[in-house]
Amino acid sequence: PWSAVVSKAPAPSKQLPTKGSLTAIVIALYQEKPSRVIAAAEAMWDSLKEIGAESGFEIFFLSDTTDPALAEIEEQAIQDLLHRRPNEPFWYRRRRDNTQKKQGNINDFVQRWGGRYEYMLELDADSFVSPEAMLELVRRMDARPRTALIQSLPVIVGARTYSARTQQLALRVHGGLFGAGLTWWSGGAGNFWGHNAIIRLAPFAAHASLPDLPGKEPLGGKILSHDFVEAALLRRAGWRVEIAGDIVGSYEEAPPTIVDAAARDRRWAQGNIQQVQILFAKGFDWLSKVHILAGLMGYMSGLLWLSLIVLGVFIAGYAKFFDTETIASVTADPTAGLRLLIILSLVLTSPKWLAIILWAAGKLPGWNRSPRFLVAVICDVGLTALMAPIIMMNHAGSILSTLMGVDGGWRPQVRDRNGFAWSDLVRHYRQHMIFGMCLLLASFAISPSFLLQNLPMATIML
């Protein structure tokens, strides 16, 4: 995998596939601003026409928009598009009943019209894929008849808020490291993230229909996060699922604020909890289960961290106020927690430090040796440390609310936001502030050293 990290990506090729297969570019919509989505679709189509590759593609807009006013705007925008481009293969369908949400919309398309196409390039409303990347994905599918899905690694573009720009920077700095490693160890048992991926429609239609889980939502019923499960079903049927970390030209956008990211994470966390049932099912590739477990731990780690903090406060408080004879053993090594925090921080930020090492050696593709890069990465490390407790609380809250039977639902993704009023911030983060105040008061009551250990986290919460 190291050669993939330190070597330059292959130059994008405009060579047309020789097989002559037809690919449907499928764009899923749900309560979106149609003007942005249509503009991106037109840009992708015009880019394909510039290199003479448009004959191998058609574009579908699959809408699940339920708001009547927005649906009217959406349909009018599509009519305007078809009027401007009467001879282009643009198609639009809006469901009246959005059963199974996005995956139900995609599955309905596959069952109704999938037989016309060899492949489907599945995109989200904020996705953009260059024509060179599209052609490379098609060429790889043509050359690998046992591959059912190839997932590209989209990078974030178009970030305008500080929160989104930090995500954009982080992904551009060490996204190559992540992609190279993931591509290497997953092999033909890769994963699917629901967008910016090309899919062979015949096996997808035959094997990737999602079953209903036992029980009621949010733990059972309709599967909320479809992508991991669809990849696992394809692997169970004997098809390869690959991750293409070396393809350049796959893009997406990031939520503009932490609040919007938390709303998206709430949906993902619920879906990942549902996927636990796959871990105990027979016939699935063990690497598919690794992907599912890793996705679950991305959210469970927040709850585990929170539990560790609460347990630490309980033990220290009990030792001080109820069992003073053991207080010496509890506080015998007051720096143990600090050492553990330092070790965990080094592990969690290791991709950033590794990226700095490669940058210093002049081997990080896409970056020159300007000191601005170093300053930006160090600032990113600091911001990551500051945001970690807030994200911990967000993830822990998502897990707990799901386990308590609260359905997160399917909310529209916010693409643009200029900020929040203070009252809105207090409403969103009141639980964080209450926890921070309780942690601060409890630590103050226990001991000065315990207060010093928990002061940074409590301060961030407040």
d(CA 142, CA 118): 10
Q: DSSP string of 225-281? A: -HHHHHHHHHHHTT-EEEEETT---EEE---SSHHHHHHHHHHHHHHHHHTHHHHT-
pLDDT in tens, 65-124: 999 999 999 999 999 999 999 999 999 999 988 888 899 999 999 999 999 999 999 999
Please name the residue that has the structure tokens 């579908």: 60
Q: Give domain limits for the chain.
A: 2-268, 297-461
Residue 212's pLDDT band, with cuts at 50, 70 and 90, is confident
d(CA 407, CA 394): 16
Token pair listed for 405: 């039977």
Sign of CA dihedral 451, 305, 429, 435: negative
Nearest to 309 by CA among 397, 430, 438: 438
> Is the pLDDT reported for residue 418 higher than 80?
no
Sign of CA dihedral 124, 130, 131, 135: negative
- Asked if residue 377 lies in contact with residue 173, where contact means CB atoms within 8 angstroms, the answer is yes
Question: φ and ψ at 126, to 5 degrees?
Answer: -105, 15
Q: CATH homologous superfamily for 2-268?
A: Spore Coat Polysaccharide Biosynthesis Protein SpsA; Chain A (3.90.550.10)
The reported pTM is 0.92
The beta-strand segments (E) located in 83-196 are 90-94, 119-123, 128-129, 147-152, 155-156
pLDDT in tens, 29-47: 999 999 999 999 999 999 9
DSSP code, position 97: S
Average pLDDT over residues 314-328: 75
Please name the residue that has the structure tokens 């879906």: 271
Residue 11's pLDDT band, with cuts at 50, 70 and 90, is low
**Based on the number of CB atoms within 10 Å of its own CB, is 317 exposed (0-12), middle (13-18) or buried (19 or more)?**
middle
> Is the pLDDT reported for residue 175 higher than 70?
yes
DSSP code, position 213: B
Average pLDDT, the chain: 89
Average pLDDT over residues 284-305: 95
DSSP code, position 401: H
- State residue 172's pLDDT score: 84
42: Cβ–Cβ under 8 A, 6 or more apart, which residues? Answer: 81, 85
Average pLDDT over residues 179-195: 94
Question: φ and ψ at 343, to 5 degrees?
Answer: -65, -45
Please name the residue that has the structure tokens 């500051």: 386
First to last CA, the chain: 42
d(CA 270, CA 177): 28
d(CA 41, CA 37): 6
- Asked if residue 439 lies in contact with residue 461, where contact means CB atoms within 8 angstroms, the answer is yes
Number of continuous H segments (helices) and E segments (strands) in the chain: 17, 10
C-beta atoms surrounding 198 within 10 Å: 27
Q: Which long-range contacts (CB under 8 A, 24 or more apart) does 74-79 make?
A: 74/29, 74/32, 74/34, 77/34, 77/35, 77/38, 78/34, 78/38
- State residue 2's pLDDT score: 46
d(CA 113, CA 93): 12
Strand 197-200 relative to strand 128-129: parallel, antiparallel, unpaired?
unpaired
For the chain, how big is the Rg over CA atoms in Å?
Answer: 24
The total number of residues shown for the chain amounts to 462
Please name the residue that has the structure tokens 């060179």: 132
